[in-house]
Amino acid sequence: MKIGSPAERASAEARVALTPESAKQLQKLGHECLIQKGAGMKAGFSDEDYAQAGVKIVSSAKALWNASDLIIKVLSPDKTEIKYLDKTKTLVSFFWPAQNEALLTDVNKTGATVLAMDMVPRISRAQKMDALSSMANIAGYRAVIEAGNNFGRFFTGQITAAGKVPPAKVLVIGAGVAGLAAIGTAQSLGAIVRAFDVRPEVAEQIESMGADFLMLDFEEDGSGEGGYAKPASPEFIEKEMQLFREQAPEIDIVITTALIPGRPAPKLWPAEMVKLMKQGSVVVDLAAEQGGNCDLTKKDKIVESENGVKIVGYTDFPSRMAAQSSTLYSTNIRHMLDDLTPEKDGVLNVNLEDDVIRGATVCHQGKVTFPPPPPKIQAIGKQDAAPKPVELTVEERAALELEKERGIGRRQAGLLAVGSLFMLLIGAYAPASFMQHFIVFALSCFVGFQVIWNVSHALHTPLMAVTNAISGIIIIGALLQLGSPNNLVGILAAISVLIATINIVGGFMVTRRMLAMFQKS
């Protein structure tokens, strides 16, 4: 089958759906690859790069569409491109069928098969084809870079001869893929990062990346279908606004990522919040395409409020990193075509029994197949979410703790009883000199293990815990031998205590320095 990748007709779009590397992989599936002349130039891929990868260069868009059986592109087709479609062709691109009903109707009239990359179901098996996550990851990263470009100070705190520079304070609203990417980027640049999300289950992800999760004292779960958030109640929104009013005067950079597919962006950072921010602060609105999370957002523009706050409303963050975006997107496309070519013989098989292919297919053989039925496997956001813990009273928690301690005591008593019987059995046959040393060894192991192993891993790493436990055993055993009448034994015991102590103290010092790397002054 011939796979063609045309140049994107939108002037601001720099991405391309086919890269030289992905073309090599598609050729292994039995396909022939074509690309329009100059299609990859904005993304940093020359026609020579494609030619070396075995891709045929086609001079015009019309010639490419006519020569191709399968078209892969980034944006949905415009009116000119729809004219090139017919029932013999298959199109794979972003399509947004829920927001483009007229486009879906027009394309379906051509009889073409269309697979929308934005409709890939969010199940574990389809993660490799999840182009929305790939682009959101880049958007979150780029949002921080754009914020830094418009922010007049350092992200990281510094102490210089000219004075002390405080670190920037960044607030990320929404902890989806884009939000987590923004958190990671801002954190790596040295900022103090805070994050908020209506879904309580993402708190652990936020904190694992070094950010502070802003907890809202309100009983409402904002988790929706497919890992997205659902619309919040008016009472929840009021509590949320109260939290943001407290944060706004302190925050230097706000990055909003809240967006529910098919709905206008919720207004989470209204003009009131912008007025509370300091002069020189920045708001980056990743939901600008759907109206924005900020009242003052202007699509594809940077506006400045009366109090000197810049609001960035760009909608082309992935396109601003065209080389990286094209590489990730073309990989998502390649994985999709891998599933569409199960025999690797260059023959396309649109298997509507497959959850992923069925979910992505929006029209096929003259029929509109959107919306798809729910996948047989639950979405990632639902499947991976941990069950909510059962709320216990103080008395119930105390009873559970007491029962847990009793269980540990019973196990330890059992182990001691077994150990004592084992000692008696050995003592019945072993000489007294052997038993003296063996008992010292056993006590050293037990006491050393109890002393060191129970130290919290926050104070030393798990690997350090093992080595420190061994050193603890050595110290206990050596201390018991220091009073030996044999001078040689006493000297060796003292050396053992010294070396093991150095090992333990050094281990704690190394761990302390490692933890200090993640602390802010």
Got the DSSP string for 319-364?
Answer: GGGHHHHHHHHHHHHHHHHHHH-TTSSS-----TTSHHHHHHEEEE
Q: CA–CA separation, 338 vs 344, rounded Å? A: 8
> For 235-263, what is each residue's pLDDT tens digit?
888 999 999 999 999 999 999 999 876 67
Q: CA–CA separation, 242 vs 268, rounded Å? A: 11
127, 188, 205, 378: the active-site residue? 127
Residue 373, CB-side half-sphere exposure with 13 Å CA sphere: 6
Q: Is 127 among the catalytic positions?
A: yes
Q: Does residue 393 carry a pLDDT above 80? A: no
Lowest mean pLDDT among 127-131, 207-211, 229-233: 229-233
Contacts of 203 (CB under 8 A, 6+ apart): 197, 213, 215
Across the range 421-445, mean pLDDT stands at 78
Residue 423, CB-side half-sphere exposure with 13 Å CA sphere: 16
Tokens of 348: 């396309």
Q: CA–CA separation, 92 vs 106, rounded Å? A: 16
Q: CA–CA separation, 7 vs 37, rounded Å? A: 8
Helix (H) or strand (E) holding 312: strand 310-312
pLDDT of the residue at 382:
46
Query: Is there a cis peptide before residue 371, judged by omega within 30 degrees of 0?
Result: yes
130, 197, 252, 354: the active-site residue? 130
> For 209-218, what is each residue's pLDDT tens digit?
999 999 887 6
pLDDT of the residue at 456:
55
15, 50, 118, 122: the active-site residue? 122
Are 258 and 179 within 8 A, CB to CB?
no
228, 334, 355, 496: the active-site residue? 228
Q: Is 133 among the catalytic positions?
A: yes
68, 93, 133, 290: the active-site residue? 133
> For 341-384, what is each residue's pLDDT tens digit?
999 999 999 999 999 999 999 999 999 999 998 877 554 444 44
Contacts of 396 (CB under 8 A, 6+ apart): none
pLDDT of the residue at 295:
93
Q: Is 228 among the catalytic positions?
A: yes
Q: Of 12-26, 252-266, 382-396, where does the model show the most confidence?
A: 12-26
pLDDT of the residue at 78:
95
pLDDT of the residue at 103:
96
Q: CA–CA separation, 444 vs 456, rounded Å? A: 21
Higher pLDDT, 304 or 486: 304
- How many Cβ atoms are within 10 Å of 215's Cβ, its own excluded? 10
Q: Is 496 among the catalytic positions?
A: no
Phi, psi values for residue 165, rounded to 5°: -110, 115
